[in-house]
């Protein structure tokens, strides 16, 4: 499964109402570090079954970026049960991203 594109329209169903934890990647097309993280996020999306993985384009979804108080990108956020449980700013290696999804 590939990473979902998260928008204001699907945020409630895909993230807030998700039975599984959700890893969100806040990114933009002009962001160099985002381009380094993007293939890793896609890889994780194809590998994990215990969580959803979504991408939020901050230029297209400024309301979501504001809701999560995203000041720098890439920002990674983990939601569980509709609650924000972890955030991380900056490019991370795959193992560090995966560890965010662990209990």
- Could you tell me the maximum CA-CA distance found in the chain, to the nearest angstrom? 33
Q: What is the pTM of this model?
A: 0.95
Active-site entry in 3, 15, 34, 97: 34
Out of 31, 45, 65, 70, pick the active-site residue: 31
**16-72 tens-digit pLDDT:** 999 999 999 999 999 999 999 999 999 999 999 999 999 999 999 999 999 999 999
Domain count, the chain: 1
Residue 103: band (very low, low, confident or very high) from pLDDT cuts 50, 70, 90: low
Question: CA 14: distance to chain centroid?
Answer: 12
Q: Check pLDDT > 90 for residue 2.
A: no
Confidence (pLDDT) at 1:
64
The CA–CA distances, whole Å, from 75 to 19, 64 equal 22, 12
- 31 catalytically annotated: yes
Q: Report the C-alpha gap between 6 and 2 in whole angstroms.
A: 12
For residue 33, the domain's CATH number is 3.40.30.10
Distance separating alpha carbons of residues 64 and 79, to the nearest angstrom: 13
Query: What is the pLDDT at residue 102?
Result: 86
Structural domain span for residue 92: 4-100
């Amino acid at each position: 499964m590939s990473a979902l594109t998260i928008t204001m329209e699907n945020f409630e169903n895909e993230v807030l109402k998700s039975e599984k934890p959700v890893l969100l990647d806040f990114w933009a097309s002009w962001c160099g570090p985002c381009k380094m993280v993007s293939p890793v996020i896609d890889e994780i999306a194809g590998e994990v079954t215990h969580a959803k993985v979504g991408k939020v384009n901050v230029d297209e979804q400024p309301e979501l970026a504001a809701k999560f108080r995203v000041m720098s990108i890439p920002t990674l956020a983990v939601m569980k049960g509709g609650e924000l449980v972890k955030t991380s700013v900056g490019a991370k290696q795959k193992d560090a991203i995966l560890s965010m999804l662990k209990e």
